Structure 1
Amino acid sequence: MALIKTLLLTSAATLMTVSVQAQDMPKKIGYVTNYATHEWYQNVIKGMQARGKELGIEVEVQDANLDIAKQVAAAEDFIAKGVDVLIVTPVNEEGVVPLLRQAKAANVPVVLEGNPVKGMTTMVAICDYDTGYHSGVAAGKYAKEKLGSVAKVMNVGLPLLSATVLRSQGFMDGIKTEIPDAVMVHDLDGGGNPDRALEVSSAALAKNADINIIYGINDSSALGGLQAWKAAGKSQDGLLTVGTGGEGLAFINAIEKEPSYRIEAAMFPEKEGFTAIDAAVKLFNGEEVPEHIVSPTAPMFGDEWKKYYDYDGTSRAIKWDAVNALQAPAKCMKTSADLKK
């Protein structure tokens, strides 16, 4: 049965690829990323460039470096140069709204990556709540087996973005399916970067170190929380660290070296970049696309990452067959709209 399912999924992926290749191709796609020095976006770009090369499309990248004014200027520059399609990872959700209007007036289709924006045509992104939820379920099962069915969580979050808020909510809801009295001891704003995550985690642990699970909305957040734990001189015995993203090499090194880093909610940035290019091709051809094109995720325990990546000690290579065989949900359990209810 599992073999039949795998064959069906592989066939579906193959048919999708063939249909894309039969279409007219844009000559040039412009991608404005929000933070190109981050491992996640570096691997998103690798996925875009790999797919672009395969389809004969030039993919040019500009970095906003977390500056919305710079992002708008870069997108305007791409429009002026006459790119066929824009792909944008929003620095913030409100700041990109006027940009979408400008692109529409110039008849340039826009694909968003990662975060929704009012007035968008389509977005390629994971189901953030689902990703947190399934890693929470895995963490709850681990805690029942290894931590005495106790779950006291330090959430190293990022309240600025709806996507990351959904991950944290999903994680707590997921863990409570296994341990109903699980509690969030600390709900922190780690800024999504390791330095800020370390700072706020250190301060929180100084006030109350009675936790046994560190959850990070991305790998930097999880690793910043773990670093704070270690800097306080605490043993990792009886601790579980859960990362999110599978962004680059950091999570692989952590799983291999840190005893508490056992679960990773992998989001496959290369796949997201690959899918964004396919979405751009469809918009270029005037095809109808879903508002949210879901990119797959998978919770990985221990060395299960080896199913999806090769690692030679200095770089990693995605195993496309394994990742393309993953089935994304048809619909997310919760979305950013649910946060406003």
Structure 2
Amino acid sequence: MKKVLVVVLAVLLMVTAFGCSSAPAEDTGADASVPAESAAADASDPVEEDSTDGKTLKFGYVTSDMSHEWYQNIVNGAQQRAEELGVELITADAAMDAGKQVTQLENMLTSGVDALLITPVDAKSLATVIQEAEAQGVPVICESNVVEGATTTVGIDSVEGGRKAGEWLAEYATENNIDPKILVVNAPANEDCRERVQGFKEALDESGIQYEIVQEVDGEGSKEKSLEVSADAITAHPEVNVIYGINDNATTGGMAAYKEAGLDESQLVAIGFGFEGVAGRTALLAGGPYKSAVAMFPDFMGQRLIDTAYEIANGGEVEERTWSGTTIITLDNFADFYTEENGEYITNFDAVRALIEE
């Protein structure tokens, strides 16, 4: 009877800690200034039955670069979901250093994590870590980028996302009698970015509309570089009336170059990819050239990472690819996916989850 009472009191103490604490999960290198952009999942979401005999699960997550809003919001979503499930989440930031990431992951394995979550800096550098994790029976869940030997990859279908952007432009151009002269701001060193452009072009070709990609530039995913290379392209091609960027930095950088060139912004249609947070949301809600974006919902992606790791840790099975949803966001449907509360925009996770179930 005394043993039962001790167990009950321990459980109550754990529930109190997770339910009341506002402190972030333990950090072994991540940026402590992560903005509180994302919201917790609906409390009514189903949770898999715990088969870990009361053990507190511990997951380790190493991101590639926490200076980007995308990864900040992924970690926010992951932290919140971990707290809901009673999981201890350790995070670290590799800061685009592949060697540092390997060391961080090895340290997490030594600490006894039940799952490794990785946004890879360099997939090829992770082979030894993957082998060590497999030897210890620790599942490896990668974000977006497929790594050989990992248990699963949580991410979007980048080609399909690009196709959604192309389909939207084809419809918009037809309805508004636009002859698209397109500047593509890419980051071709990244396979996901190449696929976003591939899908975009495929959808435009299949639509049957007349269009021209007047130039494709490498903005390297940064706003500053995207502005620089877009400025040169727009000087050479002032007829540009559509900018398609592989992320919000690429798109808004291209928009800034267009504005600096003194061109008529009312004639420009800008399409983003990612809709990562403040940058994309501000551009869309301003009602200017930024007309649409392929939204990837990073806070939901973080939740998918934790849910996937939790399912595996509890004996569940997952596919090699675990998909996260995307959709085209415009001013017309923004309110279907985001609600403003006290100056912050809260993601409607039920609406995002429905995208996966379609």
C-alpha displacement of 1:303: 4.2
Does the C-alpha gap of structure 1 residues 179 and 43 become closer, same or farther in structure 2, counting only changes over 3 Å? same
Partner-residue secondary structure (3-state), 1:177: helix
Shift of 1:325: 2.3
1:274 aligned residue: 303
Query: C-alpha offsets along residues 54-113 of structure 1, whole Å, 9 cap, x if unaligned?
Result: 110011110011111111111111111111111000113323333222322333211000
Residue segments in structure 2 that go unaligned for 5+ positions in a row: 1-40
Question: CA separation in 1, counterparts of 2:49 and 2:320?
Answer: 22
Q: Distance in 2 between matches of 1:77 and 1:103?
A: 11
Matches within 5 A, 1:67-216: 67-146=97-176, 148-216=177-245
Which runs of no fewer than 5 residues in structure 1 stay unpaired?
1-12, 330-341
| Partner in structure 2 of residue 318 of structure 1 | 347
Quote the offset at 1:313 in angstroms.
Answer: 7.8
Deviation at 1:276, TM superposition (A): 0.7
Distance 1:74 1:234 in 2: 48
Shift of residue 17, structure 1, vs aligned partner: 4.9
What residue is the counterpart of 1:238 in the other structure?
267
User: What TM-score comes out, normalization by structure 2 length?
Assistant: 0.82
CA shift for structure 1 position 316: 2.2
In structure 2, relative to structure 1, the CA distance for the partners of 1:23 and 1:298 (3 Å cut) is: farther
For residue 35 of structure 1, what is the amino acid of its counterpart? D
The structure showing larger relative contact order (alpha-carbon pairs under 8 Å, at least 6 residues apart) is: 1
Contact 1:222 1:241 in 2 (8 A): yes
Q: Secondary structure at the match of 2:130?
A: helix
1:150 CA drift (Å):
1.4
Alpha-carbon distance in structure 1 between the residues aligned to 2:242 and 2:313: 46
The one-letter code of the counterpart of 2:272 is G
Task: Write the mapping of 1:324-335 to structure 2, written as runs, cut at 5 A.
Answer: 324-327=353-356
**Pairwise CA distance, 1:126:** 0.6
Following the alignment from structure 1 to structure 2, what is the Cα–Cα distance between the partners of residues 114 and 305? 24
**Which of 300, 303, 308 is equivalent to 2:337?**
308
- Alignment-mate amino acid for residue 153 of structure 1: I
Q: Which amino acid aligns with 1:104?
A: E
* Contact kept? 2:323, 2:356, Cα under 8 Å: no
Does 2:322 align with 1:293?
yes
Any residues of structure 2 matched to 1:241-260 within 5 Å, and which?
A: 241-260=270-289
In the TM superposition, what is the alpha-carbon distance from 1:286 to its structure 2 partner? 3.6
- The TM-score normalised by the length of structure 1 is 0.86
Whichever residue aligns with residue 172 of structure 1, its letter is K
> CA–CA distance in 1 between the matches of 2:58 and 2:237?
53
The alignment's C-alpha RMSD in Å is 2.1
Instruction: Work out whether 1:18 is the aligned partner of 2:11.
Output: no
| Larger gyration radius, structure 1 or structure 2 | 2
